[in-house]
A = this chain, B = another copy of it.
């Protein structure tokens, strides 16, 4: 339970409920209790502090009425999202894309989050069944420490999947399985060495930027054109690595054409020790034309480090990502990182392996591709009504698209007007990194992955009221 020992000061002249209220409020203001965190129930609070339940309730009511906490039926009390307070205290921007569902629900009628996914079609019963089978077949072996790179059989399965669906050329030996992209990047830091000069597109995926920034990496941002990272910019930047998302760049949605891919590979091949880090994060979802193979598929010289995840294609809570290392880096991994133990439990690996091997993954992907396409198409249809003053880009793949206003509204005008109607859209500038003082654009991101068709209609109706 939340630490309440310091809550009550004997000898205080304030009454009990006020002391409790002030203590919790202070904890929230100082960020010790964070948005989304659950408070103890009034009953356990009362028991713990040896006070009456009505005193506890009184304190909570005060916090509720002042908006510090919120209650949800049968779930208890949660700390509210308070952007202004939070920013004031930490000097940091909130991580908009990853706000918890509770907070979202509390504040917005409709949230076009670019990172939300749709779990409504997830075959829970299949997952449960596989889980049950794995747990009942496996005995103690499953609970033993596994291979540091990930179970060999899972790596075989992933390598087959990557080959058939993304054209990735790799043996299971080249694959490292880890608990999320962040962990794999931490490992990659140990493989590539401490002092890497890395190029990132601008705008880019902020989380990756923050992670490279927490390394000793020297980050150079390179502008994008309609085909992706500018190779001219890359050549001027004197870097040894470049982080790219060729299949659907985040946030711009740009699909990198083959010509640009070959130019990037050419750059990488020109000097020893150059690498391209390919983040293929939502490549599974493409709604027009043929699937586009990965950049790694065109790499003949071992210059591409390929990273992908099941967090997006199956469920955010599936903490399984994979990294495909070129042979040279694989050797370095084996020499320098062999002592880092596995981060994904064997059982979870086995469940995932069977989910893929039994064909459920492919079926699920097909279903979701169809479902996301419906949302995507509806969104495009409805946006057509917005007229020529709003330009759509980045469509046809992934789980979001971009909308650029041409009526003179700035990005923040658009975001604020939407917010006033209870709709959340995301400014493109949130993904700008490095250089300050960019001129304000007028582009917002609309994610549709987590919304139902009716939500999309409702949200767009509100946006029309807000913007037109």
Contact = CB atoms under 8 A, between A and B. Distances in A.
B3 A171 contact: yes
A358 interface: no
The oligomer's copy count stands at 2
A343 B2 contact: no
A403 B445 CA distance: 66
A173 B132 contact: no
A9 interface: no
A90 B152 CA distance: 21
Interface stretch (A334-342, A418-426, A460-468): A334-342
Contacts of A32: 171, 173
Nearest to A151: B38
A179 B128 contact: no
A119 B90 contact: no
Contacts of A292: none
Nearest to A316: B145
Contact of A144 (B119, B179, B207): B119
Contacts of A179: 179, 183, 319, 343-344
Given A119-B140, A131-B131, A135-B124, A343 B183 contact: yes
A143 B122 contact: yes
Interface residues on A, range: 35 or more
Nearest to A327: B32
Contacts of A140: 119-120, 122, 124
B152 A37 contact: yes
A347 interface: yes
Contacts of A366: none
A330 to B, nearest CB: 9
Interface in A48-102: 90-92, 95, 98, 100-101
Contacts of A190: 214
B131 A3 contact: no
A156 B2 contact: yes
B95 A338 contact: yes
A185 to B, nearest CB: 9
A135 B128 contact: yes
Nearest to A33: B173
Contacts of A441: none
A398 interface: no
Nearest to A189: B186
A397 to B, nearest CB: 22
A291 interface: no
Interface of A: 1-3, 31-34, 36-38, 90-92, 95, 98, 100-101, 119-120, 122, 124, 127-128, 131-132, 135-136, 139-147, 152-153, 156, 159-160, 170-173, 179-180, 182-183, 186, 190, 194, 206-207, 210-211, 214, 216, 311, 315-319, 334-348
28 contacts: A1-B156, A1-B172, A2-B171, A34-B173, A92-B335, A95-B339, A101-B144, A119-B140, A119-B144, A122-B140, A122-B143, A127-B135, A128-B132, A128-B135, A143-B318, A144-B317, A146-B317, A179-B343, A180-B341, A182-B343, A183-B183, A190-B214, A207-B339, A210-B339, A214-B337, A317-B346, A319-B343, A319-B345
Given A92-B338, A120-B140, A179-B183, 7 more contacts: A2-B172, A91-B335, A145-B311, A182-B343, A211-B339, A211-B340, A345-B348
